[in-house]
């Protein structure tokens, strides 16, 4: 699947935003956003920012959504202060919604990352290493 097309259809993030970048496939379905042209014999760990995993379905990364979420026009879930604190800790939330699938989670204009809406539950997709106890928000 074309990942940029998926981002456009699912989140309204325009494909043209990435015209100056290259998209690179990595192992295990990883998709990277990097420079348009790579050196002939690159001595690098990865060709850029990991933006998605695309094996059976496309799953956007938290880093990607934190950086490019401001360009999204749909499938954004806005949280209250209390919900944002719980979500930052890694908790799932009950969110009444008929929508299902990956969503962008935000609080007060700050893009927290990715969530999966399923049966009225916002399943936390923030990596464990990025979860934290928030005291002041």
How many distinct helices (H) and strands (E) make up the chain? 3, 9
Domain ranges of the chain: 1-68, 75-137
Question: What pLDDT does 20 receive?
Answer: 94
Question: 97 falls in which pLDDT band (50, 70, 90)?
Answer: confident
What average pLDDT does this structure show over 32-55? 82
Question: 55 falls in which pLDDT band (50, 70, 90)?
Answer: confident
Q: What are phi and psi of 104, to 5 degrees?
A: -95, 130
Q: Indicate the fold that domain 75-137 takes in CATH.
A: 2.30.130
The two three-digit tokens of residue 3, written as one number: 């990942």
Q: What are phi and psi of 22, to 5 degrees?
A: -105, 150
pLDDT in tens, 22-34: 999 888 999 999 8
What average pLDDT does this structure show over 37-64? 84
E strands present in 11-63: 21-25, 30-35, 49-54, 58-60
- E strand or H helix at 107: strand 101-107
Question: What pLDDT does 56 receive?
Answer: 85
Average per-residue pLDDT for the chain: 89
The one-character DSSP state at 84 is: H
């Amino acid at each position: 699947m074309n990942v940029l097309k998926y981002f456009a259809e699912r989140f309204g993030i325009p494909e043209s935003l990435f015209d100056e970048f290259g998209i690179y496939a990595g192992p295990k379905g990883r998709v990277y956003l990097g420079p348009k042209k790579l050196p002939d014999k690159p001595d690098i760990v990865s060709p850029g920012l990991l933006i998605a995993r695309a094996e059976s379905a496309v799953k956007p990364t938290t880093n990607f959504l934190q950086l490019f979420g401001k360009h999204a026009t749909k499938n954004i879930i806005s949280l209250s202060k209390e919900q944002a604190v719980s979500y930052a800790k890694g908790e799932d939330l009950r969110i009444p919604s008929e929508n299902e699938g990956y969503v962008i989670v935000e609080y007060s204009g700050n893009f927290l990352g990715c969530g999966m809406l399923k049966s009225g539950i916002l399943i936390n997709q923030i990596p464990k290493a990025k979860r934290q106890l928030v005291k002041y928000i």
